Every structure is written in C-alpha cells, then in structure tokens.
C-alpha cells in the first residue's frame, strides 16, 4: 500500500511537472506572440512614420519648373514641353526654350511638337475601339477574317495566322524596312501589296522587330473598318471626345504656324531646321508616328488611360474592358542597354520588357509602369504612366537626345516628385546621366572616307537602274557638279561618298549622305560585281541602313540599247513606206 501511495505521489508529481512545463511553455508562447505583436505594431508605426515623412515631399510647381529649366539648359535643346498629372489633376504643364532659333518665340504649354512613335498608342487604341464598335472581331481575330485573300504575308503560316494583336505588338517577325517609306508609290493602300514581298528570315511570334511599316498596316486596317481617313477617325473617336482640340497630324499641319515648334537636327555640330516636306512625307503611314500635340492636350490623353477610358467630364469614351486590351501584355521586348536601369548599378530598378499595344509595360521602383518613347527627325518625346497611382508624365522636345540620356532621367525625376518621394536624381545627375553610375555612351563613329576619289571602275559601270521586288526601282547616276555618284530612290536622294574600307570579295563600299529634303543617311551602299566574259561588271547594289540583318539588294536592270534603236528604225521605215504609198496613190 505504501508502495502504491508512493507511486501515486510520483505520478501526481510527474503530471504536475508536465503541467507546469506546459504552462510555462504556454506563457512563453503567449509572451512571444505578444512581443511579436508589439514589434509588428511598432514596425507599422515606423513604416507609417516613414510614409508620412516621404509623402511630405510636396510637388512644388515653381521649384520643379526651376529644376527642369536648369537641366534643360545643360542639354542645349532648342525647345521643350512637359506635363505631369496625378489623381486627375494637372500638377504641371508648361514649355521651356524657344519655338524656333531665329525669332526665339518662347515655348508654352500650347506649343505643338511632333510626338513621333507616341502615335502608336493612338493607332492601337483607335483600332481596338473600332474592332469592338464596328465589327464582331477582336484583337485576337485573324486579319484575313477582315480582308480575306487580299491579306498576304511572306509565308502561308503568317498569312493565315497573323492577328490584329500580332500587328500591334510587333510579333510578325518582319524586319523594319524603314527606308521603303521613301518610295513615292508606297501609300497606306498599296502597302498591303508589298508585305508578302518583304524578307522574313525570323520566326513568327518569336523574333521582336519594332516596325513602323506594320503600324502603317494598323493605320490602313482602321481606315478599312472605319470608312474614313485615319486622321478623321482619330479626330472623331479620340481628339474630340477628349477635347484634345489643338492636336493634329504632320501629314496635314502647316509647319509655318507660329504655334508649331520647329524641328532641328545637328549637322556638323550645329542645329539645322528639318525640312517640313520631309516630315509630311515621312508621316504618310500615320499611325507609326504622325501625331503632333502639346503639353496641355497630352494631360487629357494620359488621364484617359489612367481613368480607364473616361474623359475629364467623367464620360466613358471607351469601356474599361476594351481599353484593357490596349494595355494587356503581349510580347517580350529585348532589354535595351539605353533603358536598362537596375540595382546594384543604379540606386533603383526601372524595367520595360513587355510590349502591349502602343505601350511598353514594366515596373518603376516596384510600381506598375507603362511607357513609350518617340524619335523622329527634329523631334523626341516620352510618355510614362503609373496606372495604380494615377500618375502620368509627358515630355517632348526639339533637337537630339541620343540614347535617351535626357528624357529618361528627367522623366524619372518627375515620377519621383509626383509620387511624393525624395528623387534619386537631381539637376546635376540629369545633366551627367548615366554618370556617375555608369559610363556615358560615346559619340557614334563617323564613317572614314577614302581620300582617293577615283572609282574602282569607270563611273558608267555604276550608273543605271536597279530593281528590288519589294522596294521597286532606284537610280544611280554620276553628278558632274559634285564629281561623284548620286543615288535616287523615290523622293530620297543621296550623295555616294567612297569609304576607305574595302571588303574581301571586291565589293566597293560607299556612304550615302542625305541630300535636299532626304534627312536620313544610308550607312553602307555596296556595289556587287561578277565576272562575265572575262570582264568585271557591276550587277547589284545593297543598301544597309536600319535593316542590318536583311538589307535589300537591288539587281541592275540591263537596257538593250540596240533593240531600242532597232525599234526606232522600224518606226522610221514604216513612216517612209507610208509616205511612199500615199505619193503613189496620189500620182495614180
């Protein structure tokens, strides 16, 4: 019995110890939870305190305008327009610099600038809107469903499978072919007949080729659906409902208007006026880059996208679901070294690696980000949207901005100010960007010309007409005044300057320097030869510009002079015989 009592006592003691241990552990657990809760509350309070401090960085329009002015002065562009919106309000809209370098009229928020490829967001938005309102088709419908056999691409798979989304997100795999735009016979209507003739060495929906030509197709598709010119369709469907009353198009604007900023490009280190005739002709494909707008109107365009298709009056111009198709991610964009901003090289990360429809999607400081740049002769532009924060920044300028060393830092500075956080950039770093974080890109290498102006062959061998199935004809002739060859393709004209570099197979290389209104140079003009009957003759010419991978090659067209003379002689013989017969009948 004593033994049982002892065992019972031990058991009770053991249970009590276990209970005490459990209680102790429970108390420690509760204490730990309470401690974690207190730490969490303190952390939340700390973060809240930080947020309060960060958000206290106000958007001071006067201060920010002064900083923009200072950065503008160090970049030496003639004119600049900037606008910033947040929560439906205009935080800033104003101009800097001058409209033209002669009269030096100041730029204002209403001064018009070419916005180049920012036009693509208008083209995509319009086409998506028209597809929804005028057809039973969607962006993922095949283009042949609209055009039938009229739509032909370089191969049968592309012909039958290309969708509207493929065209708007650069997924066709067709190289840029930008210089085909010089052809006087190329129009929005005739472009459709050229597409199947273009080279397409890369896979459909695999290779990203940014294409102005395909956005010419997007332009024409809108005209087919809408039944009007693209300019009228944009005006009636977008400009008027959004009250973008000043915006217009390079294809129709009078560039002599006092409110249109003059486009400038540097020639031999000096800013030179870009020919308005070039701007008009280059913009004929419209949706690729023809829009002209100002800081005030672009605030309305930014708010339209930030507020899911509404105008400033709250009217629904486009349903949120349909506008979302414009913003939807579609295709991976190769990382551009000019725009690659990542930790740890930079203090923050900004990405843009997915193409939507006329916008590039990515992140800025972790915030969802939509943007697009624009560059054409005389004008540069940029738009940047933070949809969740209802923030938008627009910037347009005249003159150059190679490798985005001005637009990018200025845009990011304004995004930070609109977010209410301390900017990681200031006037000094906007002026030196991308330094001090990485080396500033060097100047583009200049071509090295051959001091010996003597051609490898008699100039008559170079002269003649050359033909390419997709591009059509070009003409090479000798210019006595310049004592060199000139090349003419459509409305483009180039002086051919002999390069010092010769390549192994005997091709003679020239640099095509733009003449008259042409503006754009041709990096390489290669004359290709072959041996025929023991003689070396020139048979082809290859033009390498933006299409480095697939430069167009033109075959020389042989003109049989003897046959032409024979035909002329035959006509003379017929004429003489006719006269003799008439005289014979008269005598009879």
Say whether both 386 and 533 belong to one domain: no
Find the mean pLDDT for residues 233-247: 98
pLDDT band for position 496 (cuts 50, 70, 90): very high
pLDDT band for position 519 (cuts 50, 70, 90): very high
Domain housing 288: 61-432
Inform me whether the pLDDT recorded for 455 exceeds 90. Answer: no
Percentage of the residues of the chain whose pLDDT score is greater than 90: 76
Residue 50 inside a domain? The answer is no
Name the token pair of 173.
């795999």
Q: pTM of the predicted model, to two decimals?
A: 0.85
Q: Which of 62-66, 295-299, 561-565 has the lowest mean pLDDT?
A: 561-565
Say whether both 421 and 467 belong to one domain: no
Residue 453 inside a domain? The answer is no
Domain of 249, CATH number, reads: 3.40.710.10
Say whether both 417 and 493 belong to one domain: no
CB 265 within 8 A of CB 364: no
Instruction: Please identify which residue in the block is written with the tokens 């207190």.
Output: 38
Say whether both 216 and 275 belong to one domain: yes
Residue 80 inside a domain? The answer is yes
Say whether both 588 and 497 belong to one domain: no
The Cα 113–Cα 450 span in angstroms is 40
Domain count of the chain? 3
pLDDT of residue 444: 74
Say whether both 536 and 578 belong to one domain: no
Residue 489 inside a domain? The answer is yes
pLDDT of residue 453: 67
Identify the bridge partners of residue 509 per DSSP, sorted by sequence position.
Answer: 526
Residue 308 inside a domain? The answer is yes
Percentage of the residues of the chain whose pLDDT score is greater than 70: 84
pLDDT band for position 571 (cuts 50, 70, 90): very low
Say whether both 86 and 148 belong to one domain: yes
pLDDT of residue 506: 66
Say whether both 119 and 89 belong to one domain: yes
Q: How does pLDDT run across 419-434, given as a tens digit for each residue? A: 999 999 999 999 999 9
Q: How does pLDDT run across 29-81, given as a tens digit for each residue? A: 434 433 443 333 333 333 333 333 344 578 999 999 999 999 999 999 999 99
Q: Which residue has the higher pLDDT, 56 or 270?
A: 270
Write 144-153 long-range contacts (CB < 8 A, 24+).
146/221, 146/224, 146/225, 147/192, 147/224, 150/192, 151/192, 152/192, 152/195, 152/196, 153/195, 153/196, 153/200
Inform me whether the pLDDT recorded for 224 exceeds 80. Answer: yes
pLDDT of residue 70: 98
Q: Which residue has the higher pLDDT, 540 or 574?
A: 540
Inform me whether the pLDDT recorded for 303 exceeds 60. Answer: yes
Find the mean pLDDT for residues 459-469: 96
Residue 25 inside a domain? The answer is no
Say whether both 568 and 549 belong to one domain: no
Q: How does pLDDT run across 80-119, given as a tens digit for each residue? A: 999 999 999 999 999 999 999 999 999 999 999 999 999 9
Residue 441 inside a domain? The answer is no
Say whether both 268 and 353 belong to one domain: yes
Find the mean pLDDT for residues 562-582: 43
pLDDT of residue 547: 79
Residue 119 inside a domain? The answer is yes
The rounded radius of gyration (Å) of the Cα atoms in the chain is: 33
In the chain, what is the greatest distance between 2 CA atoms, to the nearest angstrom? Answer: 170
Say whether both 143 and 187 belong to one domain: yes
Say whether both 570 and 471 belong to one domain: no
pLDDT of residue 214: 98
């Amino acid at each position: 019995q004593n033994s049982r009592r002892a065992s019972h006592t031990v058991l009770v003691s053991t249970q009590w110890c276990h209970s005490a241990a459990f209680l102790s552990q429970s108390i420690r657990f509760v204490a730990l939870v309470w401690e974690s809760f207190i730490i969490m509350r303190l952390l939340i309070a700390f973060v809240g305190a930080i947020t309060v401090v960060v958000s206290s960085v106000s958007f001071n329009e006067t201060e920010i305008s002064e900083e923009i002015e200072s950065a503008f002065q160090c970049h030496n562009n003639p004119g600049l327009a900037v606008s910033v919106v947040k929560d439906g309000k205009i935080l800033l809209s104003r101009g800097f610099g001058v409209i033209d370098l002669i009269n030096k009229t100041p730029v204002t928020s209403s001064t018009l600038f070419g916005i180049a490829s920012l036009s693509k967001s208008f083209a995509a938005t319009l086409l998506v809107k028209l597809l929804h309102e005028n057809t039973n088709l969607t962006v993922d419908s095949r283009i042949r469903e609209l055009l039938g056999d009229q739509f032909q691409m370089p191969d049968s798979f592309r012909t039958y499978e290309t969708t509207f989304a493929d065209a708007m997100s650069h997924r066709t795999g067709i190289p840029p072919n930008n210089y085909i735009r010089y052809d006087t016979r190329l129009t929005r209507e005739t472009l459709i007949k050229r597409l199947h003739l273009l080279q397409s060495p890369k896979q459909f929906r695999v290779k990203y080729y940014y294409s102005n030509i395909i956005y010419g197709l997007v332009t024409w598709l809108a005209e087919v659906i809408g039944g009007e010119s693209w300019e009228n369709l944009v005006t009636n469907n977008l400009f008027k409902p959004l009250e973008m009353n000043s915006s217009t198009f390079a294809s129709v604007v009078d560039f002599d208007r006092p409110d249109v900023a003059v486009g400038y490009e540097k020639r031999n280190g000096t800013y030179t006026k870009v020919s308005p005739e070039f701007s008009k002709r280059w913009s004929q494909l419209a949706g690729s880059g023809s829009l002209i707008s100002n800081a005030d109107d672009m605030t309305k365009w930014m708010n339209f996208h930030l507020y899911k298709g509404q105008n400033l009056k709250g009217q629904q111009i486009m349903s949120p679901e349909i506008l979302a198709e414009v913003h939807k991610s579609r295709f991976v964009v190769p990382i551009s070294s000019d725009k690659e901003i990542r930790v740890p090289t930079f203090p923050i990360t900004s990405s843009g690696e997915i193409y939507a429809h006329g916008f590039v999607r990515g992140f800025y400081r972790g915030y969802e980000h939509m943007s697009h740049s624009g560059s054409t002769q005389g004008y540069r532009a940029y738009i940047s949207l933070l949809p969740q924060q209802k923030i938008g920044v627009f910037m347009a300028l005249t003159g150059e901005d190679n490798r985005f060393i001005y637009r990018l830092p200025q845009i990011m500075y304004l995004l930070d100010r609109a977010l209410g956080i301390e900017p990681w950039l200031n006037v000094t770093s906007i002026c030196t960007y991308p330094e001090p974080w990485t080396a500033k890109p060097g100047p583009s290498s200049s071509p090295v010309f051959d001091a010996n102006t003597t051609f490898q062959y008699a100039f008559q061998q170079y002269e003649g007409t050359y033909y390419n199935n997709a591009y059509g004809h070009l003409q090479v002739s000798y210019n006595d005044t310049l004592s060199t060859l000139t090349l003419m393709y459509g409305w483009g004209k180039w002086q051919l300057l002999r390069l010092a570099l010769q390549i192994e197979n005997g091709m003679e290389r020239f640099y095509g320097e733009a003449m008259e209104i042409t503006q754009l140079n041709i990096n390489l003009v290669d004359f290709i030869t072959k041996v025929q009957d023991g003689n070396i003759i020139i048979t082809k010419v290859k033009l390498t510009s933006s299409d480095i991978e697939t430069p167009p090659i033109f075959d020389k067209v042989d003109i049989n002079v003897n046959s032409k003379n024979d035909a002329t002689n035959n006509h003379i013989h017929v004429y003489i015989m006719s006269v003799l017969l008439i005289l014979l009948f008269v005598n009879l």
